[in-house]
Amino acid sequence: MKLFDVYPLNNITITKAQGSYVWDENGVQYLDMYGGHAVISIGHTHPHWVRRIEDQLEKIAFYSNSIHIPIQLELAKKLGEVSGKQDYQLFLCNSGAEANENALKLASFHTGRKKIIAFSKSFHGRTSLAVAATDNKSIVAPVNETDNIIFLPFNDQQALQDCFAKEGKEIAAVIIEGIQGVGGINIADESFLKLIRQLCDDYGAVYIADSVQCGYGRSGMFFSHDYAGVNADIYSMAKGMGNGFPIGGILIAPHIQPKYGMLGTTFGGNQLACAAALAVLEVIQQDQLIDVAKQRGQYLLNRLKTIEGLQNVRGRGLMIGFDVPEALKDLKKKLLFDHNVFTGEAKPNVIRLLPSLAITRKQVDEFLDVLKEAIAEITAHATENA
Ligand code: PMP
């Protein structure tokens, strides 16, 4: 059977990973500045994570949600402790799209309304409502098209105010990434997030913080919305939550009370996924990885700003992006094939860095050295050919 290539493939076969490194089938080592697309939070194959999953596997891997599952309670307690959102309820599912799908559905159940505000360059996943709220027409199937999504320009306070003034009573939810990932590392202004909070309060709409990519400590705060000092009504999470084990979830504020039947999924909250997610939180807590992400991210950001050729260096914590000019358009490929470094990208010309929160200072320096070398090589080559 042929395997469907979900993305255009780079011709590299990865067979092993540890911490911030991965190795291909020939034993060649790569530095992972992409974290498997923001998924690797505590480092590849972290020993505590491996042990936790193995221990759980020997006890019980799965039973469905109609019985008591103590490890789910343990996870909810730890997540409350680490995130500071103790008074929220946790609903567990399996991916970021599923988390957003449930968040949007719940907002509609809660308000009895249909309209959703989303923003330019947003990405919320590929299930029907999540994809409809994603600003990329090419991934919305005809069956997913709906007039219920209103797209507004990101960080545009006037447009948001005007929209609420016009149809505020029909708005079920506003969904926003605190830092847009797929859209190219765009940081929501703190004043914009505060305005969303205020307008949602004024009009009875639900504030959904899509924290699938920018959440779970990556920004140097547990949720990037914490920088604005606002509480969202629903936080969606996935990616870093399992460090590679598929798990997602939503945190639901106390004033929203889903009824039985509104939310549900067979595999959500399975014991193995909970063990993986608990291991992640234990390591985040023990190794103070949110502070590490903040400091190491700031160091990386400051150093990147001094490198000639990179434009508009931006980010928070270990979620960093920069624009590459036309002359450096091959930088990502060069980093991968000539210097064995994985990075991410965003259209049209952004390089995204989303390494493990446990990346060491030495590894950050290693990346910076290689980056400078790669830029110098491209520049020298261009001069030779001039
Ligand atoms: N929201 C955001 C902000 C994301 O970056 C992504 C994945 N790139 C998703 C939702 C969807 O997550 P998943 O691929 O786990 O469905």
What local confidence, expressed as pLDDT, does residue 222 receive? 98
Q: Which of 292, 300, 133, 149 is nearest to 221 (CA)?
A: 292
* Ligand 1 atom index nearest CA of 98: 16
pLDDT at 384 (0 to 100)? 86
224 lines ligand 1 (CB under 6 A): no
pLDDT at 103: 98
Take atom 5 of ligand 1 and give the residue whose Cα is closest. Answer: 213
Give the pLDDT score at 287: 98
pLDDT of 294-311, one tens digit each?
Answer: 999 999 999 999 999 999
The answer for 112, left when phi > 0, alpha when psi is -120 to 50, beta otherwise, is left
Kindly provide the ipTM of the predicted complex, given to two decimals: 0.99
Q: Residue 33: what pLDDT?
A: 98
CA of 126 to the centre of ligand 1 (A): 8
Cut 0.90: pTM above it: yes
> To test ligand 1's pocket by mutation, which of 7, 186, 219, 239 has the most ligand atoms within 8 angstroms of CB?
239
* Nearest protein CA to atom 13 of ligand 1, as residue: 96
Residue listed under structure tokens 């709906």: 146
For residue range 148-158, list pLDDT tens digits in order.
Answer: 999 999 999 99
Angle subtended by helix axes 157-167 and 190-203, to nearest 10: 10
CA–centroid distance, residue 375 to ligand 1 (Å): 31
pLDDT for residue 15: 97
**69-84 pLDDT, tens digit each:** 999 999 999 999 999 9
The overall average pLDDT reported for the chain is 97
Pocket test for ligand 1, best of 40, 102, 121, 123 (most atoms within 8 A of CB): 123
pLDDT at 10: 83
Q: Please measure the distance between the N-terminal and C-terminal CA atoms of the chain and give it in whole angstroms.
A: 48
pLDDT in tens, 187-222: 999 999 999 999 999 999 999 999 999 999 999 999
Ligand 1 atom, smallest distance to 127 CA: 16
Domains and CATH numbers, the chain: 14-45+289-384 (3.90.1150.10), 47-286 (3.40.640.10)
What is the 20 CA–ligand 1 centroid distance (Å)?
21
pLDDT of 382 above 90 = no
pLDDT at 255 over 90: yes
Q: Write out pLDDT tens, residues 329-353.
A: 999 999 999 999 999 999 999 999 9
Question: Cα separation of 376 and 41, whole Å?
Answer: 31
Asked if residue 238 has its Cβ within 6 Å of ligand 1, the reply is: yes
Ligand 1 contact, 179 CB (< 6 A): no
For the Cβ of 129 lying below 6 angstroms from any atom of ligand 1, the answer is no
Please give the pLDDT value at position 373. 98
The reported pLDDT for the residue numbered 386 is: 78
pLDDT exceeds cutoff 90 at 66: no
Atom of ligand 1 nearest to the CA of 248: 15
Q: Residue 6: which pLDDT band, with cuts at 50, 70 and 90?
A: confident
